[in-house]
């Protein structure tokens, strides 16, 4: 009796730097293969080909999003002709029904989730977006170092109970006072001088990264459309482009706002209806630049300034107002970007 080859196989890939656990299921959930392969797309494809049959059954695979997994997924899509979906590792972990963790069980669960259509999918960003994302996140790392360095310098001044001059902190006048006139002890002066030197180096590096970001994004139509928005500068535009990627992957502005972490979290129960602040999801840097953009819009844009005044008149705090403006602006931006894309 001849063996009937499956029309479709489902593959779960548990990714590691040196190896990948490969689990193959048929359409009925039967395990055809579950073993470790070298981290090489050709060897993984060769292991699965044994079960695709002479008619080349289609392959639907799932792999958890992690460092290096995207490159493997793209190779399997482009070179092996697979359909590969990235899975959200946090949601996959919550779906497990036992506390044990093995590569064998993880790969099988990914394959089974793909088979039944319950895989929590993550968007695979194209290479140009990932490259831009690396630059944006590197700039954010440098900015974080600069912020921490400034906090350490201010802490030294507070520790020594040194009264600061009546001028804006970190201005040229303030830095001149700190570098030459501040009454610091001998060891504190030695530390502060080196921190100021590091601060100057960081500022130079940040400027270089921003110049590179401007060069890279000059030919990006989406970045240029974002820069045309009132109150939006280079860093905000490239951060939105790097972290959101494509606007058409969201069904609505509400879904996009939820992705950005700008939607209020519902905390209702029974007869009690309440909000509990913003949802704790999304990229923190993306949410931060959007909140900063909302503060600018509240000051300089007529439409958002009017909303700012209305909410403040109702007793809302500045942080709540900024979040509300960012939420509505992102929804409006989604509609506008979708409309412009269709027009093109």
| Beta-sheet pairing, 83-87 with 58-64 | parallel
Provide mean pLDDT across the span 137-148.
96
Q: Quickly list DSSP for 175-200.
A: HHIIIIIS---HHHHHHHHHHHHHHH
pLDDT at 52: 83
Percent of the chain with pLDDT over 90: 71
pLDDT at 2: 46
| Beta-sheet pairing, 19-25 with 31-38 | antiparallel
What does the mean pLDDT of the chain come to? 90
C-alpha to C-alpha distance for 104 and 19, rounded to whole angstroms = 13
C-alpha to C-alpha distance for 313 and 21, rounded to whole angstroms = 59
* Closest by Cα among 262, 255, 268, 266 to 281: 262
Measured at the CA of 323, the angle between CA 299 and CA 289, to 5 degrees, comes to: 75
Q: What pTM was computed for the model? A: 0.85
> 234-264 as b/e, with b when 16 or more CB fall inside 10 Å?
ebbbbbbbbbbbebeebeebeebbbbbbbbb
Q: Give 2 or 303, the one with higher predicted confidence.
A: 303
* pLDDT score of 10 more than 50: yes
Question: What pLDDT, in 10s, does the model give residues 190-232?
Answer: 999 999 999 999 999 999 999 999 999 999 999 999 999 988 9
User: Cα 185 from chain centroid?
Assistant: 44
């Amino acid at each position: 009796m001849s063996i009937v080859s499956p029309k479709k196989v489902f593959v779960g890939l548990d990714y590691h730097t040196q190896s990948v656990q490969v689990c193959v299921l048929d359409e009925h959930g039967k395990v055809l293969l579950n073993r470790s392969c070298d981290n090489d797309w050709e060897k993984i494809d060769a292991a699965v080909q044994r079960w695709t049959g002479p008619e080349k059954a289609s392959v639907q695979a799932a792999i958890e999003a992690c460092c290096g997994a995207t490159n493997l997924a793209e190779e399997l899509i482009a070179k092996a002709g697979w359909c590969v979906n990235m899975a959200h590792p946090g949601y996959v972990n919550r779906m497990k029904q036992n506390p044990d963790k093995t590569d064998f069980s993880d790969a099988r669960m990914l394959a089974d989730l793909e088979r039944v259509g319950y895989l929590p999918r993550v968007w695979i960003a194209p290479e140009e977006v990932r490259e831009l994302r690396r630059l944006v996140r590197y700039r954010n790392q440098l900015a974080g170092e600069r912020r921490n360095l400034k906090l350490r310098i201010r802490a030294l001044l507070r520790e020594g109970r040194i009264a600061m001059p009546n001028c804006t902190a970190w201005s040229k006048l303030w830095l001149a006072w700190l570098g030459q006139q501040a009454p610091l002890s001998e060891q504190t002066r030695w530390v502060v001088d080196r921190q100021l030197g590091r601060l100057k180096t960081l500022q130079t590096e940040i400027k270089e990264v921003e110049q590179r970001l401007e060069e890279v994004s000059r030919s990006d139509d989406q970045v240029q459309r974002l820069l045309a928005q009132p109150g939006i500068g280079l860093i905000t535009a490239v951060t939105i482009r790097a972290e959101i990627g494509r606007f058409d992957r969201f069904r609505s502005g509400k879904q996009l706002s939820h992705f950005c972490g700008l939607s209020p979290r519902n905390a209702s129960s029974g007869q009690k209806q309440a909000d509990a602040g913003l949802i704790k999801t999304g990229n923190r840097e993306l949410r931060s630049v959007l909140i900063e953009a909302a503060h600018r819009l509240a000051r300089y844009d007529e439409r958002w300034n009017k909303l700012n005044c209305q909410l403040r008149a109702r007793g809302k705090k500045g942080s709540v107002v900024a979040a509300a403006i960012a939420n509505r602006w992102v929804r409006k931006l989604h509609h506008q970007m979708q409309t412009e894309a269709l027009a093109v």
